[in-house]
Structure 1
């Protein structure tokens, strides 16, 4: 229930703040400030792994509102759905620790945007968790969305670790298709 309230709050604030217009370039970082609350904890008194992913959802929605992707995809009857995620937990976030979620589009191909999300502890700027997210577009293409927002721009260089991860997704999909 708390997650739903947080999400509705963030979407409402994001919508009001952007007023339905593009506030950030597609390649700019979107930042949300958060504090680890009691409902975020697991039995070991640090942020539950599932809570990180809930915060990632909110961070991506905020990103799409700020950079205008949400509006452009919606205009053509499309939608955004999470196709895959890769999460690396580096250090715990404990009760009442303030942190920020930095979300950034780092690449796109014919079917998806790839987003990097970092959970950065405010007191020392340590990246406690980093996540790669494949945000698949339905009834829309990333290149078309980017062109509508910014005209023709060069997409970012494909990072080696992202390339390996994309390849692992392709291999997994091929294996699953063979088994079905």
Structure 2
């Protein structure tokens, strides 16, 4: 089941947090609960993606995109992701999450997230492509961001992000059945 209680808690906890600029990082702390684990008694790989939601939603509240999207009739959806799993996260382990929007292009916005253990080691890392949607159609992120600041431009996307975009563009769609 989706962690609605944890999501509401994160939103409540961050309701009075200082506002963030669009490209500033949101930091949050999370605990791996018994219902988050797999057969190997570690954070399930799919659940990791869900827990990353717990960083993105409060970030969008703090940087203002959630309100602007709601007021303008926009929604956002995950449109692609690349994840690296490097260290185990076990039951009741606390992780620090960093969520950072890194830019956008004419189709998508890009967000980087990572989870860190208490020794400072990175446990996992995700590059996420987000879609901005209005009336069930994909729209350029700039359309949404213009409601926040019409002069806003994306920082140049890092080379590794551009390489990921280019590599993903070579992937056939739809896939062969």
Match of 2:51 in 1: 55
Count how many residue pairs are aligned between Structure 1 and Structure 2: 173
CA distance in 1, matches of 2:51, 2:173: 29
CA distance in 2, matches of 1:83, 1:35: 26
> Is the partner of 1:64 in helix, strand or coil?
helix
**Which segments of 5 or more consecutive residues in structure 2 lack a partner in the other structure?**
none
Match of 1:42 in 2: 38
RMSD: 2.3
CA distance in 2, matches of 1:17, 1:110: 32
How big is the shift at 1:43? 1.4
2:132 and 2:144 in contact (8 A); partners too? no
CA distance in 2, matches of 1:74, 1:81: 13
| Structure (1/2) with the larger helix percentage | 1
How big is the shift at 1:76? 1.7
Match of 1:134 in 2: 129
How big is the shift at 1:104? 0.4
How big is the shift at 1:177? 5.1
How big is the shift at 1:137? 0.3
In the superposition, the TM-score normalised over structure 1's length comes to 0.85
In the superposition, the TM-score normalised over structure 2's length comes to 0.86
**Which segments of 5 or more consecutive residues in structure 1 lack a partner in the other structure?**
none
